[in-house]
Structures are given as structure tokens and as C-alpha cells.
């Protein structure tokens, strides 16, 4: 992906929606957050300190891209939620002091960071809190910070590694050198996940359902099913069929896979009582 993430909202979204890559980014970046309500959280000051910029720089990013960052997990804590968050931090720090806390990961500088901020946290009526995705979103937007630039490079390297693993571990076909290949591959990968999730939710257990519906997509586009297309290209069993495709074709497949879950959601409810849409192993039909 040669595009600059700072300029493309679509590319930023596609990267942030790739959960496998984001998990790997968290492991490798080493910016450890405080886990609250099931997600790692960071204060605005912690984000500013990481990128080595003034906190007002982060505030300007929020002003210009607030909705995008909110969609990535940014929140303002007030009232009970703020009090609960503060209490959990105090409990965490007290457990550290009393040697009663054994972290499952190296907590790095998060302890000192919260100690430095504890006084202001106790007095503030509201608190800006970022999830890890929201933190990455800021890093994708922030110019003038060497650490943000390094983070963007690391993100793209990790995304490429994750996709290469899906494509068989190497760039074999000339289409993979195309400028638009990686963004298209990320989009297709994300939509493929939504597609298979929809099949799991709406269609009865059937080990052939993925291949059958995938074949229908291929038939519509290529006039051959996946097996026939694989034979035409003389691919072995370990080589990814989609790794041979140009960005325009991947985008077309992604469009199909994106529309199918939406189609299922808008089907009349009475169809969910038919054998096709009944999930075996449960006592109830699928709900739209």
C-alpha cells in the first residue's frame, strides 16, 4: 500500500477493520493500555506523550476528525463511568504497590503514566479515553510526529505480513506489485469475514455452504466456479486464488460479499423458518 494513510479515510478504515492485523500491531508496538470494559484504554495525555506532541495537537486532530475517531472507539467518560474508571485505576495502582498484582504481560510504563496523571484524574469532571484502535487512528492522521510516521510504517508492514500469510507467504504474481492491490486485498479480506459470519448466522450447518456460495459469486463474475478457475491458472492447493487477482477484480468480489449479508438481513422473517435458514443444534430460528 503506497498510499499515505494520512490522506485516505477509506484506507484507514480498512486497516482498522482488520482485527487480526490490529492484534499483531498491539503485540509489536509495545504501547500497553489499561484494560477496562473489555478493551485497552488510553488517556489523551498518554496518547500525546507517546507521539511526543503537545496535548493540544491531539485536541486539534479530534476537532477535525472527531466522528472518525469516535467510530474507532474514542469516548468521553463522565458520571458513573468516569468514577468507575478512576476507581479501577486506583485499585490497579494499589495492587501494584502491595505486590498483589501479577500482570499477564509486561505493564511497561503504564504504571508511572497513571501515577503522574492521578491527581488531575481525581479532579476532572470528564475524561477523553481512547481505545487502541482510536490511538492508531490518531497516529494515522498525525503529521509532524516522527513516532506517528514510524507507527504508520509499522502498521503497513504488519498488515502486509498478515496478508502475505493469507496469500501463501510471498509475492508470486505480478498483480501483487500493483499499487492498488493491498488496499483492495484488505477490503476483500474484511468483507470476506462479514460474508462468512453471515453464512454462519443465517444458514443451517452445512460444510459446503461457503464453497457453494463462493462458487456462485465466481460463476457470476468469471463464468467458472472456483475449482475450474484454479485449474485454469494451474494453482496448487496451498496457493491463494485471490492472490492472483488484480485490484479491480478483488473490489468486484468484495462488492458481492458485502451485499450478501445485507441481503440476508432484509429477507422476510418467515423465511427463517425454512430448512435453509434454520441453524441446526439450536432450539430457535435465526433472527434478523
Same domain, 121 and 208: no
| 165 within domain boundaries | no
For residue 232, pLDDT over 90 is answered with: no
Range with the poorest average pLDDT among 65-69, 166-170, 176-180: 176-180
Same domain, 192 and 252: yes
Which cell numbers hold the place of 214? 463462493
Domain-located, residue 95: yes
Residues 236, 116 share a domain: no
pLDDT interval class at 282 (50, 70, 90): very low
* 242 & 220 share domain: yes
What pLDDT does residue 285 have? 38
pLDDT for residue 110 is more than 80: no
Per-residue pLDDT tens digits for 117-130: 777 788 889 999 99
Average pLDDT, rounded, for the chain: 75
Q: Which of 58-72, 167-181, 213-227, 256-270 has the lowest mean pLDDT?
A: 167-181
Give 58-93 pLDDT, tens digit per residue: 999 999 999 999 999 999 999 999 999 999 988 888
The pLDDT of residue 244 is: 58
Residues 106 and 18 in one domain: yes
Residues 240 and 272 in one domain: yes
Q: What is the pLDDT of residue 281?
A: 40
Q: Which residues of 221-251 are buried (b: 16+ CB within 10 A; e: fewer)?
A: eeeebbeebbeeeebeeeebebbbbbbebbb
130 against 14, higher pLDDT = 130
Contacts of 254 (CB under 8 A, 6+ apart): 184, 187, 188, 191, 192
Domain that holds residue 46: 5-160
Domain tally, the chain:
2
CA 204 – CA 276 distance, rounded (Å): 6
Residues 129 and 256 in one domain: no
Statement: residue 157 has pLDDT above 60 = yes
Domain assignment present for 28 = yes
Amino acid at each position: 500500500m503506497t498510499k499515505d494513510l494520512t490522506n485516505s479515510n477509506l484506507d484507514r478504515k480498512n486497516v482498522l477493520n482488520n482485527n487480526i492485523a490490529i492484534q499483531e500491531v498491539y503485540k509489536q508496538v509495545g504501547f500497553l493500555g489499561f484494560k477496562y470494559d473489555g478493551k485497552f484504554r488510553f488517556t489523551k495525555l498518554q496518547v500525546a506523550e507517546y507521539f511526543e506532541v503537545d496535548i493540544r495537537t491531539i485536541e486539534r486532530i479530534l476537532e477535525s476528525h472527531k466522528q472518525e475517531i469516535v467510530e474507532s472507539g474514542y469516548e468521553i467518560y463522565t458520571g458513573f463511568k468516569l468514577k468507575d474508571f478512576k476507581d479501577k485505576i486506583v485499585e490497579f495502582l494499589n495492587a501494584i504497590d502491595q505486590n498483589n498484582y501479577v500482570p499477564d504481560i509486561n505493564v511497561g510504563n503504564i504504571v508511572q503514566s497513571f501515577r503522574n496523571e492521578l491527581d488531575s484524574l481525581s479532579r476532572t469532571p470528564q475524561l477523553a479515553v481512547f481505545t487502541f484502535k482510536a490511538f492508531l487512528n490518531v497516529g494515522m492522521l498525525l503529521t509532524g510526529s516522527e513516532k506517528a510516521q514510524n507507527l504508520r510504517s509499522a502498521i503497513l508492514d504488519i498488515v502486509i505480513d498478515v496478508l502475505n500469510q493469507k496469500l501463501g507467504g510471498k509475492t508470486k504474481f505480478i498483480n501483487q506489485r500493483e499499487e492498488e492491490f493491498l488496499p483492495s486485498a484488505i477490503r476483500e479480506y474484511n468483507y470476506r469475514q462479514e460474508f462468512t459470519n453471515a453464512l454462519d448466522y443465517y444458514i443451517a450447518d452445512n460444510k459446503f455452504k461457503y464453497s457453494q456460495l463462493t462458487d456462485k459469486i465466481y460463476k457470476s463474475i468469471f463464468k467458472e466456479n472456483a475449482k475450474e478457475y484454479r485449474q485454469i491458472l494451474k494453482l496448487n492447493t496451498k496457493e491463494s486464488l485471490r492472490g492472483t487477482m488484480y485490484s479491480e477484480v478483488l473490489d468486484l468480489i468484495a462488492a458481492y460479499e458485502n451485499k450478501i449479508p445485507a441481503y440476508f438481513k432484509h429477507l422476510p422473517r418467515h423465511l427463517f423458518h425454512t430448512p435453509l435458514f434454520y441453524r441446526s443444534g439450536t432450539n430457535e430460528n435465526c433472527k434478523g
